[in-house]
Structure 1
Amino acid sequence: MEKTLKASLRSRLLFSTHFSVPWLLLSRSTPSPRRQDSRSIETLAYEEVRPSEGPYNSTAFVLHGLLGSGRNWKSFSRNLALELQKRSSVWRMVLVDLRNHGRSAGIKGLDPPHDMGNAARDLANLVKFREWAWPEVIVGHSMGGKVALEFVASCARGDYGESAVLPKQLWVLDSVPGEVKSDASDGEVEKVLHTLKSLPSSLPSRQWVVDHMLSLGFSKSLSEWIGSNLKKEGEHVTWTFNLQAAIDMFNSYRETSYWSLLEHPPKGLEIAIVQAENSDRWQGDVLQKLEGLCRKGETAGGGKVSLHVLPKSGHWVHVDNPKGLLEIMTPNFISRA
């Protein structure tokens, strides 16, 4: 029973502990307003992980999942950057807090609708207003994987303007590319979101929240993780995420399909899908369809799709089997052009 609860927790909600990285260059950026057409625009919060203070060759964006934040991926991104450096490739990892999550939850001006389209456009705005080169790689976990797919689809359509450059590679980590039907899961995410929505915005304490979740039958691990998403405000605590907006994003995530993008990937792009072996999100027909797309290979007129299976892992890929994920990603990560 304990094993089942643990697997269920890991397959439904995404979180990892905050790892310190004193021996890597880690820079933190809070959003700052930039001027365009006389309007003040704020961009997403992010942090950077680099293996050294020297110059870097390329940039990868790393996108978290529902109710998470960029810090969830700090330890894994650190290790990936170090492994890639051993191959003479110095990467800057930009850990993004998506709209309504982490430090981006407090930003004014990230207007609704809170959907995959606007979440992806936020990334384009971040690149433009920081005056960065466009990222060569985007890594997205779960909901972040669909934000990455939307970014590529929108970029290919020209939605971000003529200056936009397509990534060379997407890593979509345990995120089903099609619609996610509610009857294909155990409904735990929906139960958690419903429970959180029923609570007042200002709460007595973190321990009160944990005890309340436990009293409703949620596991200790899940209850404590929920409690970790609170911040102190005066005599009370509040959520670090914008709950209703996050629910809107979750609904958009479930309803949006990117099969057409996988069937016709833009030329020069590889979409690498990682399926967690023990994840409950993958139906047989979905895997069969993906395997067929992979067999097509890269054609003269388009990109390609690849599928990798991460053994001994549930949905929480960067925590369940980070070593195995590194062993998949490092040798298959694109080289500097």
Structure 2
Amino acid sequence: MVDQVAKPLARPVRVWSLDATPGKIRAGADGEDHPSELISFLRTLPKEVASKRDMVDTLIREGFSKDVAQWVVTNLRQSSRSASSATSFSWVFDLDGIAQMYQSYEETNLWKIVEDVPRGVHVKFLKAERSLHRWALEDLQRIHAAEELAAEEGGGVEMHVLEDAGHWVHADNPDGLFKILSFSFQGV
């Protein structure tokens, strides 16, 4: 947002990055889910499936975690059918749109914004304590160095850790997430 807006934004600007680094995406270790692999697999599936439970089982057999499989099937809705036909479910997400957004996310590098935060801009990172996202020690060190520099330059960079949460911070610890985010809404 800060990088793309053509005109100066009213200050202060507060930007939150929820369990995502500003640079290169690092794939998970063996056995961890990776979004691009999930997207590729979902593209091979039919538009309609017979059962959410069968779909969870299929995803687990393909090597995706149970948590991811259960989340994916929340994107299935019962298809409208006549009373005499079997129940089926269809996908409600725009998989092409998701693929484009994820590709954009993988290709975007925002370290220049973090390491040279414009005056009046505050970038806040929230790292989930049990994140599957690959937070490299180098990334954490760069963010902490940017915290110190931004404070001297009239901007702001902060790192927060959300305890007892995996990558789905809003589902794993919604109260903790609200508590951390709510401080940024004060004085707005």
Q: TM-score range by the shorter chain?
A: 0.7 to 0.9
1:277 is aligned to 129
Structure 1 unmatched ranges of 5 or more: 1-150
Q: TM-score, normalised by structure 1?
A: 0.47
AA partner of residue 193 (structure 1): I
Q: 1:64-143 alignment to 2 at 5 Å?
A: none
1:288 is aligned to 141
Quote how far apart the aligned CAs of 1:309 are.
2.0
1:317 is aligned to 169
Deviations 1:220-261 (A, max 9, x none): 443332222012333443211111221121111111110111
Contact 2:78 2:90 (C-alpha < 8 Å) held by counterparts = yes
Check if 1:255 corresponds to 2:107: yes
Q: 1:1-337 alignment to 2 at 5 Å?
A: 151-155=1-5, 158=6, 165=10, 168-182=13-27, 186-235=32-81, 236-280=88-132, 281-300=134-153, 302-336=154-188
Distance 1:328 1:245, change over 3 A: closer
Structure 2 unmatched ranges of 5 or more: 82-87
Contact 1:276 1:310 (C-alpha < 8 Å) held by counterparts = yes
Deviations 1:134-172 (A, max 9, x none): xxxxxxxxxxxxxxxxx22112xx1xx67x646621121
Contact 2:79 2:90 (C-alpha < 8 Å) held by counterparts = yes
Distance 1:279 1:167, change over 3 A: same
**Aligned mates of 1:178, 1:219 — CA distance in 2:** 25
Identity %: 32
Contact 2:33 2:64 (C-alpha < 8 Å) held by counterparts = no
Quote how far apart the aligned CAs of 1:219 are.
4.1
**Aligned mates of 2:79, 2:71 — CA distance in 1:** 19
Deviations 1:29-75 (A, max 9, x none): xxxxxxxxxxxxxxxxxxxxxxxxxxxxxxxxxxxxxxxxxxxxxxx
AA partner of residue 226 (structure 1): V
Q: TM-score, normalised by structure 2?
A: 0.79
Quote how far apart the aligned CAs of 1:206 are.
3.1
**Aligned mates of 1:297, 1:169 — CA distance in 2:** 13
Deviations 1:61-120 (A, max 9, x none): xxxxxxxxxxxxxxxxxxxxxxxxxxxxxxxxxxxxxxxxxxxxxxxxxxxxxxxxxxxx
Size of the alignment, in residue pairs? 180
**Aligned mates of 1:290, 1:279 — CA distance in 2:** 17
**Aligned mates of 1:233, 1:286 — CA distance in 2:** 45
1:131 is aligned to none
Contact 2:25 2:106 (C-alpha < 8 Å) held by counterparts = yes
1:126 is aligned to none
**Aligned mates of 1:202, 1:321 — CA distance in 2:** 32
CA root-mean-square deviation: 2.7
Contact 1:169 1:334 (C-alpha < 8 Å) held by counterparts = no
Distance 1:184 1:153, change over 3 A: farther
2:85 is aligned to none
**Aligned mates of 1:221, 1:325 — CA distance in 2:** 20
**Aligned mates of 2:53, 2:40 — CA distance in 1:** 20
Quote how far apart the aligned CAs of 1:289 are.
0.5
